[in-house]
C-alpha cells in the first residue's frame, strides 16, 4: 500500500543512493577523485574521509526517504540548493576550477528542485483526490435521493 508521501520521498531516496554509489566508486578508485575534481594536492587520507562522509550522508538521505521523515525531506531541499550556491561562490572567487564539483552541484540543484516540486505537488494532488472523492460521494448521495450535506 502506498502512503501519502511516497512521491516526495522517492527523490530523496534516489539522491541518497546516488551519493552512496558515487562514494563507493570514488573509494574504489581514489585517483579518480583527483582527476575528476582536479585536486592533486589533497592527501589520499582526506579523500577517503570525504568519500566516507558522502556515503554516510547518502545513508541519511535514504533513511529519511524510506521512513518518510517529511521535515528532513524538506530540509534536503534547502541543503542541496545551498550546496549548489556554495559551489558557485567558490567558482566565482576562482577557488575551484570548473570541474566535477560544479557538475555535482548541478545534480544537487536538480534533485533539490525535483524534491521541492514533489513536495509542492503532493498536498495539491492529495487535496484534489479528496475533492474527487467527496464529489463522487456527494453524487452517489444525490442519485440515491440523499441530501448533499
Cβ–Cβ < 8 Å for 139, 125: no
Q: Would you state the pLDDT for residue 21?
A: 94
Taking the chain, what is the end-to-end CA distance rounded to the nearest angstrom? 31
All three cell numbers of 98: 570548473
How far is residue 67's CA from residue 45's CA, in Å, rounded to a whole number?
33
Number of domains making up the chain: 1
pLDDT tens digit sequence for 27-60? 888 777 677 666 667 777 887 888 899 999 999 9
Please indicate, yes or no, if residue 62 is contained in any of the structural domains.
yes
Please indicate, yes or no, if residue 149 is contained in any of the structural domains.
no
The model carries a pTM of: 0.69
Please indicate, yes or no, if residue 148 is contained in any of the structural domains.
no
Please indicate, yes or no, if residue 128 is contained in any of the structural domains.
yes
Q: Would you state the pLDDT for residue 139?
A: 52
Which region, left, alpha or beta, applies to residue 49 given φ > 0 means left and ψ of -120 to 50 means alpha? alpha
Residue 125 has pLDDT above 90, yes or no: no
Domain of 63?
6-143
Of residues 7 and 14, the one with the higher pLDDT is 14
DSSP state of 68: T
pLDDT tens digit sequence for 63-119? 999 998 888 888 988 998 898 898 889 888 887 777 777 787 888 899 889 888 888
Amino acid at each position: 500500500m502506498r502512503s501519502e508521501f511516497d512521491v516526495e520521498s522517492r527523490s530523496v531516496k534516489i539522491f541518497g543512493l546516488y551519493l552512496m554509489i558515487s562514494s563507493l566508486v570514488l573509494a574504489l578508485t581514489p585517483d579518480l577523485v583527483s582527476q575528476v575534481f582536479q585536486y592533486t594536492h589533497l592527501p589520499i587520507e582526506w579523500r577517503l574521509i570525504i568519500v566516507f562522509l558522502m556515503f554516510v550522508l547518502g545513508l541519511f538521505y535514504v533513511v529519511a526517504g524510506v521512513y518518510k521523515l517529511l521535515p528532513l525531506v524538506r530540509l534536503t531541499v534547502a541543503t542541496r540548493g545551498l550546496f549548489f550556491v556554495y559551489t558557485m561562490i567558490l567558482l566565482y572567487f576562482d577557488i575551484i576550477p570548473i570541474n566535477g564539483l560544479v557538475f555535482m552541484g548541478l545534480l544537487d540543484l536538480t534533485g533539490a528542485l525535483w524534491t521541492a516540486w514533489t513536495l509542492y505537488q503532493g498536498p495539491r494532488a492529495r487535496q484534489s483526490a479528496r475533492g474527487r472523492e467527496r464529489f463522487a460521494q456527494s453524487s452517489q448521495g444525490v442519485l440515491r435521493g440523499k441530501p448533499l450535506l
